[in-house]
Structure 1
Amino acid sequence: MLRKFVIAATFTTLFTPGALAQLSDTPALTEAVVSAPIETHEASGQDAKDKVSEAAGRAEEVARRIKIMTNANTITIVRVPASIGEMVKDLPEKTSANIEELRRAIDLNAIVSYALDSEEITTQTVVAADVSEEDDVTVYVRDLN
């Protein structure tokens, strides 16, 4: 029993998304870990603000889905202006706690966290996320530039 635990702990430590990112940052490795296409784009304006606000309101539900997700159809990373990302601070305390839970869920999910790592994005910039019925993942991140 102890031997299985040690092997599992070693595997988990060696093959976390952060460790894989340190091993190589090649597109081939990204594709091997994340079989879903990764798209990135920027969004701004009222439409982006509304989408982030809606997704932030569902952070608890999305976190639960991401925790158990083993495959994604597509992963879209949407960079939003800092002003939209900052509105998360003005959300109710429960929603802010749910966003923190969402960030932890993303950290634990190898697929989504590696997709973010491959774009040099940390979960601390995540302001919301959404998962469709078809397992299309959209992650909204605060643009720090």
Structure 2
Amino acid sequence: MIRDALKAAQIEAMKAGNKERLAAVRLILAKLKDRDIELRTASQVPEDDAIVVDVLQKMVKQRRESISMYEAGGRAELAAKEQAELDVIEGFLPQQMSEDDTRAAIEGIKTEIGAASLKDMGKVMAVLKERHGTVIDMSKASGLVKAALG
């Protein structure tokens, strides 16, 4: 489980005195705790690894946006800090599908549900997220789906 790996990484970073990694891992664990609190009232709770991957993917997206904004603003030191956090976060994500595999999955779903135009993009994205949401970057997949249907 990813959550166990995070807790082990926290202990390892404490023992090694790696303050940057420890801060990033603690940040991840805090976001997971927030998500757990949100899900207390939910009627259906997804699988634990799915929750963790979802939180990690959102954190990756936030870091990438921050890095681009910092670089545009000439704040290289802040961009480097965000990049260091991004590297730690990505280390806990499962191996992502390659672009070719993603295209193949999209084509399979497209033929399976009979999607033919951009009007069907929502249906394709829903099935894609349901089946492969933990191993696909959905923002990149969105562009690939649009290209496949366009």
TM above 0.5, yes or no, is: no
Give the TM-score normalised by structure 1.
0.29
**Greater gyration radius:** 2
* Larger fraction in helix: 2
